[in-house]
Structure 1
Amino acid sequence: MSVLKLKFSFQRRVRLAQGLWLLSWMAMVSGAITVAMGVFLKTELFRRAEVMHNNDIHIVPNLLMAVGLASVGINICAGKVCQDSLDASRFPRWKNLLTPFFCVSIFFTSLLLVAMILSYALQPSLEESLKVGLKNGIRFYKDTDTPGRCFQKETIDRLQVEFQCCGNTNYRDWFEVQWINNRYLDFTSKEVKDRVKSNVDGRYLLDGVPFSCCNPASPRPCIQYQLLDNAAHYNYEYQSEELNLYSRGCRQALVNYYMGLMNTIGPGVMSVFLIQMTVLFSLRFLQTSMQAVEGQENVEIETEGYILEKGVKETVKELQEKIMIFFQQVQVDVAPPETEAAAEEAAPEKEATPAS
């Protein structure tokens, strides 16, 4: 029993071909937009590459770009099929190409859903990548003289200002690292010597943060040193001075930013998926309705179109049988060389056997 069988008159087939031609061009534009979304997301990820530990999340924009390009090619072919379907003498040349075309198209269209699912499934991986990357970025903040880390300070400062965040989890992350370069420390000062000696690793640690952590919305001048000492500042209590520094950590700020992008791109990708599936379903109806016209003198006859010629179970079973036959043929093609080699090895044994 055919799945979704419909009757098509000549006028209905013409309208289907014309509507599908317009829809295929719309889907081609959607594919180009998908490429643009992938490029934009890839660019945003590259901008923060210095504070990311791994590139697992890059699989999402890579998929979007690949599927978008494939969608453009698929819909150009679909538009050409629609044009040829208006001429019964030209349409038969697509007869042997449309089945593999549908298989390839469904595969790439399904990758749109895969990309959308991965964009949410990889959130824990993104968060872990930012956690390690930001930790290393803060640790190397002071290494402005070290090759490969010269711009780490600028990257972190720009990040904290742009996303209004401080540290990895919060501003206290800066208390655990020496973020001031040794050449800007006066080692003749007793305070500096005491701080260095009080630390096992000989680091200069202090309860202070870089200026980029300062919140411009604070009503008082920024306090960035001796943050935990209420007596060091007039009318100051660090537990309640929330406006003085950004309270949000940069990891959470970046995760929110990228997941916001994913949430924006997700509905767009879903729309492209639905448009592309509509093109493929309509093209399947056009293909099957045009098959009955082949060899007919009267091309204006009424025909039937369907999605599957048989039921779903029968189609799956038939597909499995075709795959098994294909692999059997491959095995048969590989077997003869082994048989010939075995025959050559057996030949000397027959010659050595005395005749009875």
Structure 2
Amino acid sequence: MAVLRVKFTKDKRDKLAQVLWILNWISVVTGAILFSLGIFLKVEINKRWELMAEKDIQYVPNMLIAVGLLACGINFLGGKICYDCVDTTKFLRWKLIMLPYIICTFFFTFCVLVGALMCYGMQSELEDALTMGLSEAMRFYKDTDTPGRCFLKRSMDMLQIEFKCCGNTGFRDWFQIQWISSRYLDTSQKEVVDRLRSNVEGKYLMDGVPFSCCNSNSPRPCIQWQITNSSAHFNYDYQTEELNLWMKGCRQALLDYYNHIMRSIGLTVLITWLFEVMLTGVRYLQTSLENVLRQGDPNCESDGWLLENSFVETARSNLNIIKNLGNAPRAGVQCNECFHALQSILELVKVLGP
């Protein structure tokens, strides 16, 4: 017994073909948007790649680029098929191709759904990459004369200014590392020597932050040295006064930025998936037109369905086909399914050829 059987008149078949043609072209546009968003995300990640640990997070933009290109190609072909299927005689040249096309569309739709889930599941990996990457960048902030690290100071400063953030999780992160190069420390001064000897690692640690942590909206001149020493500044109380530094950590600021992008991309992917699911109507168009050909009257009513048999029978028959494909070479038996698949490929080449 056919699954989800629907009866179509000639007008309903024509309207279905027209609606599917429109949906395919909308999907081509959404595929192009996905491709563009994948390129945009790849560029945004590469712009701050030196501030991230070497984790494989490029798979998400690469996936979006691939899905966008596939969506454009598959739906362009689907639009051509649906446009020609308004005329029953033109359907004949697509007859052998439609079933492989529907199967490919089904798997592609599944891949689009997986891609949407990947967009929403990227946050934890991105957070780990930013946590380790920013810690490394801060540690090498002072190494402006070391090849391969000389750009990290500028990258961190530009990041803190652009995203209005400070440190990894907050401004106190700068208290735990030496961010001033030893070239600019006067070791003849007792204060410098005492600070270098104050910890077992011999680092020059202080309660200060780089200038890029200063809040430009604060009415008071920036206090970036001796932040925790209230007596070092006039009319200043570290415990009660609002500091004129950026309070948000750069990891959270970047996470918010990338999550906003990923949510927008994920929504676009879900919309693309919704359109692809709606294109299951191509199966109805195919089966109804095949029944028209069996009856021989292009204006007659015909039945369309998703599956000709029940789910169990369809699964059993497909399993038998797979078994026969494995046994045919040994038994020397011809496989009709292989012949039809080859016919479909040849027909596609003939149609798409000059």
Give TM-score, length-normalised by structure 1.
0.88
1:237 corresponds to: 237
Counterpart mapping for 1:182-193 below 5 A:
182-193=182-193
Question: Which amino acid in 2 is paired with 1:241?
Answer: E
Q: Please say if 1:312 is aligned against 2:311.
A: yes
SS in 1 for 2:89: coil
| 1:209 positional shift | 0.4
SS in 2 for 1:95: helix
Provide the aligned length of Structure 1 versus Structure 2: 332
**Structure 2: how far apart are the matches of 1:233 and 1:113?**
58
1:139 corresponds to: 139
- Contact 1:57/1:125 (8 A) holds in 2: yes
**Structure 1: how far apart are the matches of 2:189 and 2:327?**
83
Deviates more, 1:17-26 or 1:137-146: 17-26
Q: For 1:20-62, what per-residue CA distance to the aligned partner results, in whole angstroms no more than 9, with x for missing partners?
A: 2122111111111111121122221111211111343322222
Q: For 1:293-333, what per-residue CA distance to the aligned partner results, in whole angstroms no more than 9, with x for missing partners?
A: 32654311111111111122222222222223323346768
- Contact 2:2/2:310 (8 A) holds in 1: yes
Counterpart mapping for 1:320-339 below 5 A:
320-329=319-328
Q: For 1:185-205, what per-residue CA distance to the aligned partner results, in whole angstroms no more than 9, with x for missing partners?
A: 222222222222323222221
2:287 corresponds to: 288
**Structure 1: how far apart are the matches of 2:125 and 2:331?**
46
**What RMSD over aligned residues (CA atoms) do the two structures have, in Å?**
1.8
- Contact 2:119/2:265 (8 A) holds in 1: no
- Contact 1:143/1:181 (8 A) holds in 2: yes
2:125 corresponds to: 125
Question: Which amino acid in 1 is paired with 2:129?
Answer: S
Q: Please say if 1:301 is aligned against 2:272.
A: no
- Contact 1:171/1:247 (8 A) holds in 2: yes
2:336 corresponds to: none
- Contact 1:67/1:109 (8 A) holds in 2: no
Change (3 A) 1:278 1:90: same
**Structure 2: how far apart are the matches of 1:317 and 1:230?**
80
**Structure 1: how far apart are the matches of 2:48 and 2:132?**
13
Question: Which amino acid in 2 is paired with 1:133?
Answer: G
Change (3 A) 1:332 1:198: farther
1:210 corresponds to: 210
SS in 2 for 1:304: strand
Change (3 A) 1:61 1:87: same
Change (3 A) 1:332 1:238: farther
1:197 corresponds to: 197
Change (3 A) 1:319 1:54: farther
SS in 2 for 1:7: strand
**Structure 1: how far apart are the matches of 2:58 and 2:326?**
35
1:179 corresponds to: 179
2:36 corresponds to: 36
SS in 2 for 1:90: helix
Unmatched 5+ stretches in structure 2: 333-354
2:86 corresponds to: 86
**Structure 2: how far apart are the matches of 1:240 and 1:3?**
71
| 1:109 positional shift | 1.9
Q: For 1:89-116, what per-residue CA distance to the aligned partner results, in whole angstroms no more than 9, with x for missing partners?
A: 3322323322222222222222222122
- Contact 2:141/2:152 (8 A) holds in 1: yes
1:342 corresponds to: none
**Structure 2: how far apart are the matches of 1:52 and 1:331?**
54
**Structure 2: how far apart are the matches of 1:262 and 1:241?**
37
Q: For 1:150-170, what per-residue CA distance to the aligned partner results, in whole angstroms no more than 9, with x for missing partners?
A: 210111111111111110111
| 1:136 positional shift | 0.1
| 1:122 positional shift | 2.8
Q: Highest CA radius of gyration, 1 or 2? A: 1
**Structure 2: how far apart are the matches of 1:198 and 1:39?**
49
SS in 1 for 2:201: coil
Question: Which amino acid in 1 is paired with 2:270?
Answer: M
2:346 corresponds to: none
**Structure 1: how far apart are the matches of 2:135 and 2:46?**
18
Question: Which amino acid in 1 is paired with 2:227?
Answer: L
- Contact 1:21/1:79 (8 A) holds in 2: yes
**Structure 2: how far apart are the matches of 1:300 and 1:139?**
77
**Structure 2: how far apart are the matches of 1:91 and 1:83?**
10
Deviates more, 1:112-121 or 1:205-214: 112-121
Q: For 1:219-249, what per-residue CA distance to the aligned partner results, in whole angstroms no more than 9, with x for missing partners?
A: 3110001111111112222233334111111
- Contact 1:57/1:119 (8 A) holds in 2: no
